Amino acid sequence: MFAIRLLSLGALLMLLSAASLLAQQRPATASPRLEQERQRWNRSLTRDTAYKFNRQPNALLMEVAKGRQPGKALDVGMGQGRNTLFLARQGWDVTGVDIADEAVAEARAQARRENLRINAVVSPMETFDYGTNRYDLVAFVYEGCFETHPEVLASIKQALKPGGVLVFEFFHREAGVEMNRPDFGCLSGAVQALFANDARFKMLRYEEKMGIPDFRSGSNKYHRPLKLVYCVVQKQ
């Protein structure tokens, strides 16, 4: 009987340890909104078959990274890791951050399969520690227009090293209208204006043009071209 009790106690301790580890892997969401975001993106990125996205690295990011010496990089909204893993394959010391813990777990598993080293952090981008003069490249790809996250943009600006670049891509507002989402997407010139009066930054590329988005669902299920915003800006 004593041995059975010891076995039961051991099993209980193992369960408690596993629960503690799971809690550590999940983001400490500070609000119901962030918890809803976590659940939404876990569902979209790992289970929702109607939500389609490009599993290859972002084309603009590949173009920018190709001409630069690998250094420290940050991928905001890493999801399943397509851009994080790409940068790691190119020799970058890369950190990826995302609130979707299940998607991040898939990125970690793929990194192990490829014997790649990545730092995958489960955290809302609003509370992630970006640091100061830390990164040579920051990817902010299909994560929004910054207008609802001004604190994130301020943190990214501070986190870039002199000479470091921010790579940005997202839907234009005209694309949102076409997808029956009239408040979705970046207004003309809005992203460019965020850097226009900041002497620390130089615009290397800014375009608003038709392109194939990396993500599609609903009315854009056939992956037709939409108007997108492309931006590459360098810290001086």
DSSP string, 99-151: S-HHHHHHHHHHHHHHT---EEEES-TTT----SS-EEEEEEESS--STT-HH
How high is the pLDDT of residue 144?
94
Q: Please give the C-alpha separations between residue 151 and each of 121, 125, 188, in angstroms, as whole numbers.
A: 19, 10, 21
pLDDT value of position 44: 63
What integer pLDDT is reported at residue 236 of this predicted model?
A: 97
Identify the pLDDT of residue 114: 98
Q: What is the pLDDT of residue 40?
A: 67
pLDDT of residue 167: 98
- For position 35, what pLDDT does the model report? 80
Structure tokens at 16: 């408690």
User: What amino acid is encoded at 68 in this protein?
Assistant: R
pLDDT at 55: 77
pLDDT at 31: 80
pLDDT of residue 32: 82
pLDDT number for residue 8: 46
Enumerate residues 6+ apart whose C-beta is below 8 A from 172.
185, 186, 188, 208, 226, 227, 228, 229
Residues of the chain with pLDDT below 70 are 1-30, 38, 40-42, 44, 46-54, 216-223
Residue 49 has a pLDDT of 52
pLDDT of residue 76: 98
Q: What is the pLDDT of residue 157?
A: 98
